[in-house]
Structure formats: C-alpha cells, structure tokens
Chain A
C-alpha cells in the first residue's frame, strides 16, 4: 500500500502521461476562464444563435491563414471601426467631423462587397450631411457618395433620432448614386467611359482597381484611406458607430460557418460548457456512487440488497437510446442533460466501490478498530476512505471524458441545449448543412479536435493515476 499523499503525487507525476495531462488541463481551464470573463452569460442566446448579429460577416469563409498556402493572396474580411474624428468648427456654427479609416490592401483579389453602416444619428436643427470619400494608393480620390439624413417629420420634436433601432446601411453593390460617382470619376481620371449600370455589376472592381487599357483585372495594392465626413449644425448633434465592411473570402483564426459566425468564438465558448458538464456530472456521480457503494458494502442487509439490485439494472441499460428518448421528452436543457447523465451514471462506481469495501471490511485493522468501539462512520471515514480514495479519484477523472463525449453526442444528434454554444452543436449544424460534402474543413475539424483534446486530457490524467492505484503497473 502507498504510504503518504506525497508519495502518491510523486508516483503520479513521475510519468510523462500525467505531466502532459495536467499541462493540457491547465490550458483548458485557462481558455474556459477567459471565455467566461470575456463573454456575457447570455451571449449564446442573444448573439451566437442570432443570425442578424452575423450579417456583416462572410459566410463559410476559410481561416485567413490559408493565405500561406495559396498562390494569389485572398482578401481577409475587414470590419473597420470608428476612431476619434477630426473636428472643424466654422464661425457660422457648422461643425464638420472627419472620420478616417485606414486599410492596407495587399490581396490578389477584389473585395466581395463593400458597405457602410451607421448607427444612432441625433440632430437638433437641420439634418447632417454625410459624405464618403476614398483616397487611393495612387493619390486619386473618389467621392463615393454624399447624402442628407432624413428631415424631421411633421409633428416630430427635437432631438430627432435616426437609425436608432435599424442601422443605416449603404451597400455599394446596390446603390446607383455610388455607381454614378464612380462613372464620372473614371471619366475624369482615366478618360474611360463606363455607364453606371456597367459599374453596378461589380463596383469594387472599379473602386479598388487601376485599369490596364480599359481592363480592370487586378486590384490596386497599397494604403487606402476612407474619409467619412459628417457636417452638423448644432453642438449637441451626434453620430454613433460608423462601420466600413469589406467583404473578404477568408476570415479570422478559424473562419466562419454558413451563418457567418466566427468559428473561433464558437470553439472558445465550447470550453466552459464542455468542462462544466464533464466535471460536475462526474463529481456528483462519484459522490452518489461511492456513498451507496460504501454504505451497501459496509452495512450489508436490506440497503445493500436494494442498491445492488437497482444498480445492476441501471448499469445494464443501453444508455444512449434511453437518454435520447428521455431528453426528447423532457426537453434539451443543460440541466436535464446533466440530470440524466447522473441518473444513468452512478451504478458502475457503486458496484466497484462496494466490492472494494467488502474486501476491506474483513481486514484485521478494521476488526481492531471495531473492537475498540469505533463507530461505523468513524471506521468508514478514518480507515476505509483513505484506502479507497486514490481509486475513487481515478474513477472520477475517468468518468469526465465519458460525460463530455455523451453530451457532445447528444448535441450532435440535435438534442443539445439551444441556449449554449457547444462543440457538438457546431458539428451538428455543419453536418446538416453538408459541410463535409462541400469540404468546409475549418467548420468540421476545430470543434471535433477540441472535443477529442478535452476528453484526451482526462484520459491521460486517469492513466497517470493508474500506477498509483495499481502498484503492479509501476515501472520504476
């Protein structure tokens, strides 16, 4: 038998399997904590599962690092955000705010689309005038559009609020005014005549390209600067966020799914849910299982009879079909899933703990303790538990991946908690949308790798525990 806790720890950490497992566990916990701190608890419901929140993102775009492997560089999706504007005040009370957005363009393809978003415009006297200009790397400037925010309606009182609920969206692809300005820009700068409707077929090609002859075939690389100017007539007038969105064909660290959601965020949010389900279920199952096993094994009699019968039956049920059936009837909330995993999970440990306790009960030192008149609970906690503990801990760790995988499987079958983003649900959506048959690997591989890695971490720790529990496996 192992003498001390320190000795157990030494044996545990002597194997490389345990070291790797613990290192991975620390990483998993770090990601989980980061996800919990960085995202609000209702993020899943409000943002993640809300397609509107992802409108500005490219759909099914691969990660941006695929550019390392492609010959012609793909354009990475850009969302340019507002910085502090440069403000000019005229003596006549006119205030001009200039917002600058810088873009370093080095892709071999044109942006897929280009749009401008503006939120929360508020004015007191006259409606503000807004213009959008683009300064190109070749020194030329295109004035793309200029418009006036809608005037006060009859009976409306100042301040006049615009674009409060729905942001104003200017889409270059469907805005005739922009096409006209581009058409006249081409005439003035290059002497080329393109009709607005010709430009409307692919306006980005003309805005971000320089012609060879009259052919716009490749984008003009270099530093671009967008200028949004807002002219207002009152000190109190204000403009909320302005966003410029340049549609790319690659996005972020892990790409996007069919709705446009950032897969990196989904993967990150999966950490706490997965670990929570695995660990909480495993701890409760271990507590219930061991308690019943110890009580049954030590006291025997009717309690033992009942727990043994029940655990025997529950242990012999086909777990997945029944869980699916019950989740289907009860509804797929995370608590129902945890509850069912507990209900079906405890008997294994009860059976094993009971058999160990049965052996221990006959040991001489237990008999000695009994003869001193120790109470049963004192014997259990003082003399038996320390013996059973390493085994129980090993089992508890070994159960974590089981529950993580079961939750993932339920999610994959469409029975996951819809308010929480989980890896299983990401894979389910990908599978249902045919991501495998379309080769959208960035949607299929990362969530799965995370499931495997999380389960693997606990399997490694459990394997590392084995020499502690079973001395025959010690190698030196």
Chain B
C-alpha cells in the first residue's frame, strides 16, 4: 500500500520534529538551570504535603523537622537534583511528554486545580475550537473567491483584492482584535469585550451555545481576516497559472462548460499547492491564536501562555511550548493525509 507507507514516513518525520523540539527545549532549560528550578518547586510542593501528613503523628517539633529534612533529601536524590542536569535529560523528556511538571505558581483551573497538566488540558479544547473554525472558514472563503478571481486577472475586483491581501498580510491579528473591541464593544455595544461565556453563563443548552457563538464571533473574524488575504491570493495565482496550461485550453476548445473546466480541470490540479499554502499557514494560525486569545480573553492555551509569561511561570511555559508543538504536529499530519489523498504523485 503506497498510501499507508507514505503516511507512515510523514508521521515519523513529524514525530522527529516533535522530539527534536523537546530535546532542544530540555537542553536549553537544563543549561540555564530552569529545569532545576522547576524540579525544586515540585520537591517543595511534595515536602509541604508530607509535612502536613506527618504533623498529625509526630508532635515533637524537632523530630518533625528531622523527618521532613530526611524526606526532602530523599526527594532531591530521587529527582536527580544532586547530579548535573545532563544526567536527567531522559527523565525530563518523559516529564514534559506526560506534562508531569508540577503546579503553576499563580494560575488555577476553574475547578481549582493548579497542576500544569490540568490547566493545559482544560484550555486545550477551547483553542482547538477557535483555530479549527477559523482555519476552515478562511480556507473555504479563500478557495471560492480565489478561483473566481483567477478568471478575472487585472479586473477592478482583482486589483482591489491585491490591496486587500496586502493589508491583510500587514495587519497584526492582535491589533485588529483591539480595534474590533474598541468599535464593536466600546462604541457600538453589539459584541462582548471578551471571554467565552457571559457571566453567569445561561442555563439552557441552546442559549449557552448561542452565547458561545456570540463570544466567538469577533475572535474568529479576526483570525479569518488575518489569513484569508493570502489564501485568496495564493489560490488566485495558482489557479491562474494552471488556467494558462495547454490542457485547459484544450478542454475549453472542446467546448466543455466553464464550470466543468474550472472545477474538474483546473481545481483538481490546483488543489495540492493550495493545500500546501494551508499547511504552511498553520504555524501562523497557532501564533495568531496566542495573540487573539490574549486580546479577547478567550480561555484557551494562548491566553494561558500570556498569563504564564506575565507571571514568569516557567513550568507552565514549558508545558505549553510542548503542547503547542504537539497540536501543530498533529494538525500538520491531518493535512498531510489530505495532501497524499489529493496528489497521488507524492506517494512512494
């Protein structure tokens, strides 16, 4: 099976990227002493739990201190904190992969846990919801408008689009977001300034869904605006280049209807390079999510990232870099599956 083999090779390549990022991160945090600090804070956390547990049985304060100190030393040995950082690379890799990074300094989940893994897992679905919706919307709009414009190169609409895509490329997502809040919240009061649900959220499921939709509108528009310009532009250029090929001319000469030529002859060939554009834009979308969530207070991983930077929460930042890379790698893989299905030539 050519398809399975090709996909397997792609998957291995992407896993390699993920592992390399992790290794790089581990070496950097090891060399800068950040991993020591993260592990020490885990140790401190466990020691204080231990102290509370045994303080009920040991009442003599001196004996208590001694027991706690012994436990502390044991933990330091167990975590390998008595040895240099490079001996812990394997252990640290495992920790990051399992998100076993202790607790956040200042942030909590809605249910009150301050574990890094809980915090990230709580926010992850919100980010995926936002980015996926925006990416799919932007792709569809890009395709429809781009194909239409390819047949009208040099027209007024085409020239307007050239300017629009230039502006869209030059627009920082986060600033667009800020302006949207200023206009649609501060002046017009038709959209909320941020967040995911009203406070308190509506009880009824349908009302809750509508509330979510109402809150998601502005961030999604902002994310779409940031990417749609280049999507349209690339589709238009790719389609235009293909439309000048001989086989298209031949199809037209045969008298095939415009619609069939456009979608069967041109779009079929244009699809892989357009998809490539989407794949290349993926990293940008993830970056855009960090900024857009920050601006709109959307409780996803991006906002969490910002909060972690502001409160210098090393463990949380580390976990987020990993999960962002993971999400990116998985999303890439999904798109690669489409790509291999669309373009049989890349199969091995």
Contact = CB atoms under 8 A, between A and B. Distances in A.
Interface of A: 17, 313, 316-322, 324-326, 328-329, 401, 405, 408-409, 412-415, 427, 431, 436-437, 439, 441, 444-445, 448, 451-453, 455-456, 459-460, 463, 472-473, 475
A325 B178 contact: no
Contacts of A318: 283, 286-287, 324-325, 328
A38 to B, nearest CB: 26
Of A431, A436, A439, most B-chain CB atoms within 10 Å: A436
B309 A413 contact: yes
21 contacts: A17-B162, A317-B21, A319-B287, A320-B283, A320-B290, A405-B170, A412-B172, A413-B306, A431-B178, A437-B185, A437-B186, A439-B186, A448-B179, A452-B172, A456-B167, A459-B166, A459-B169, A472-B240, A472-B241, A475-B153, A475-B154
Contacts of A328: 309, 312, 317
B228 interface: no
B174 A412 contact: yes
B268 to A, nearest CB: 20
A321 B302 CA distance: 9
A414 B175 contact: no
Interface of B: 14, 16-17, 20-21, 25, 28-29, 32, 34, 153-154, 162-163, 166-167, 169-172, 174-175, 178-179, 181-182, 185-187, 193, 237, 240-241, 244, 283-284, 286-287, 290-291, 294-295, 305-306, 309-310, 312, 317-318, 320-321, 324-325, 328, 332
Contacts of A431: 178, 295
Given A17-B162, A324-B309, A413 B317 contact: no
Given A325-B25, A459-B169, A436 B181 contact: yes
Of A316, A319, A415, most B-chain CB atoms within 10 Å: A316
The 9 A-B pairs at the shortest CB distance, nearest first, are namely A320-B287, A455-B170, A456-B170, A448-B175, A321-B324, A459-B166, A318-B328, A325-B321, A439-B186
A470 to B, nearest CB: 8
A415 B308 CA distance: 12
B321 A321 contact: yes
A326 B28 contact: yes
Contact of A436 (B153, B193, B286, B317): B193
A306 B197 CA distance: 50
A414 B29 contact: no
B294 to A, nearest CB: 7
A320 B309 CA distance: 13
Interface of A is mostly: helix
A462 to B, nearest CB: 9
A312 to B, nearest CB: 8
Given A321-B320, A325-B321, A412 B166 contact: no
A427 B175 contact: yes
A18 B94 CA distance: 53
Given A321-B305, A324-B317, 12 more contacts: A322-B321, A324-B305, A325-B25, A328-B309, A401-B169, A409-B172, A436-B182, A448-B175, A452-B171, A452-B175, A459-B170, A463-B162
Contact of B187 (A320, A324, A439): A439
Contact of A445 (B179, B181, B291, B305): B179
Contacts of A453: 170
A448 B172 contact: yes
Nearest to B180: A436
B175 A451 contact: yes
A213 B234 CA distance: 74
A31 to B, nearest CB: 17
Nearest to B167: A456
B182 A441 contact: yes
A313 B20 CA distance: 8
B283 A452 contact: no
Contacts of B324: 318, 321
B175 A456 contact: no
A427 B178 contact: yes
